[in-house]
A and B are shown apart, each in its own frame.
Chain A
């Protein structure tokens, strides 16, 4: 059907309406419209973005509170950026701040007057330019600075986009008639910018030399990570001793306390009276900055040294885990 319609529509347009590009140019698209305007064509991408934290970057109640009602000037630009460029702190946008980190902030560039993106596309309503910086972690670094530094230290082969903008396979970029007929499906990546939760395989836990160790072996940035946000990781260890005594040890890890779990760097916690330990039940939970509830990452039991059945669990081989989608 498409193979037939494309040449027909194309010929009709050329014959009847003058130069093709001019006919379909929609000038307001180059005047920094609201995200809703982009949904006229990119309905699916808009729907994904609308469900993302980027869409709530300005409107989020936790951000409003933490920014002291938008008066902490340092925070503002990344929550409503004018133009996002690799490794460059953006400037605060003047208009439509409620849109947060929106379509034109990331895709429209003043320098070219065109929409930039990772794909080579033909888009009559607005000029488009292929820009491979969209596939690299450095694109996110202007705002997610601390996380980017951590990621660089981890020397991971995976980019931010690999995990947080998952591939959706080949899909239509636009849904509006008749434009979608002119395009072939292209490789699409989710614009939900999903927050992931570490999986059990991402954290290695073991008990050795009287110390309980935790190591982030699967996530290529600190756990948890944030620039100014305050997410937390909670460890609850219920230590059972041979004499029947039980002690509960709690620890909290956060980027603001600078004790988050860095990739490949074990954190050891000394267990007092270690020789008397018979078993340790461990729970690891996390709390995102904007959420009140804690979510379970792992729950397991390990046994004391020298006892039959001692295990060293986790992912001894290391390697990068992929985490789980925390939403939905």
Chain B
């Protein structure tokens, strides 16, 4: 068997099952996994184990292709050690792990027979892939994005503190009210609703800084250009002209930030809420 073929086959061992699946599954991760991810632990222990095993798997591949069986065996043994240790971390996932297969991989490498190695690696990799197919995405969404649950926002119009969901509702309701009043030709109420919308968007910027301590990441979405557009919108609304064309034009730019943040944060936030994370 040529080196290229072995590389390709071993590379597919890990990814196989999850990439071939035709549907996406989001199963709630088990409770004990909480111990290895923020906020409970900032060390990301479980993810580190995954990276370590993936690296050691590749160490076997790399060294066999270099015909360095001694080092291939070293990484096979390391892989077995990590696999066994990982199998004890999350009791609810015990059934996914087959330590015997890790031992067989070590023996296959010891035999210096490429076909045996490939067979043992595929069998072991399948155990990983089965768990990944069921949990990889949900773990990513549940643990890799900080929760919005603890973030409270003070409404700049009512001076009341509320969670992000309630704040978003208030902000979008003032946006909807602005549109409705404008279309009804009620200039005064449109101006008031519009000003409230502008103030709520402005105050929303404060929420980003709770996590994004580097101002650059906030500026990328709500930078000078964005804020100056928001100021213009405020001015047009306050003038009481009721100029629908101008207001809708400026609103289009003002609401562009919604999509940018939602693309990153909304899906994980919804999944976390469902998982009660």
Contacts and interface: CB of A to CB of B under 8 A. Distances in A.
Interface of A: 66, 68, 71-72, 74-75, 211, 228, 230, 232, 234, 250-252, 254, 256-259, 269-270, 272-273
Nearest to A287: B154
B213 interface: yes
B128 to A, nearest CB: 30
Given A228-B213, A272-B191, A251 B156 contact: yes
Closest 10 pairs between A and B when the two form their complex, measured CB to CB? A270-B238, A256-B206, A252-B156, A74-B213, A257-B203, A256-B209, A257-B206, A257-B202, A272-B191, A272-B188
A270 B191 CA distance: 10
Contacts of A252: 154, 156, 159, 199, 203
A273 B240 CA distance: 8
Nearest to A71: B42
Nearest to B203: A257
Nearest to A232: B154
Contacts, number: 55
17 contacts: A68-B39, A74-B214, A75-B213, A211-B238, A228-B213, A230-B209, A234-B159, A250-B157, A252-B159, A256-B205, A257-B203, A258-B202, A269-B238, A270-B239, A272-B191, A272-B192, A273-B240
B276 interface: no
A212 to B, nearest CB: 11
Interface of B: 39, 42, 154, 156-159, 188, 191-192, 195, 199, 202-206, 209-210, 213-214, 227, 235, 237-240
A280 to B, nearest CB: 15
Contacts of B240: 270, 272-273
Given A75-B213, A232-B154, A272-B192, A254 B238 contact: no
A272 B156 CA distance: 18
A259 B202 CA distance: 8
Contacts of B237: 270
A254 B42 CA distance: 31
A269 B157 CA distance: 14
